[in-house]
Structure 1
Amino acid sequence: MSDLQSQFEAAEANSKLLSEKPDNPTLLKIYGLYKQATLGDNAEKKPSFSDFVARAKWDAWTANKGQSQDEAKQGYIDLIESLRG
Structure 2
Amino acid sequence: MADSKAVRGDRTNARPAQKRTSPATFYRQVVAELRKVVYPTRDQLTTYFIVVMVFVIVMMAIVSALDLGFGKLAFAIFDGSGKK
Pair in the same fold by TM > 0.5: no
TM-score, normalising length: structure 1: 0.24
More helix by share: 1
TM-score, normalising length: structure 2: 0.25
Bigger Rg, structure 1 or 2: 2
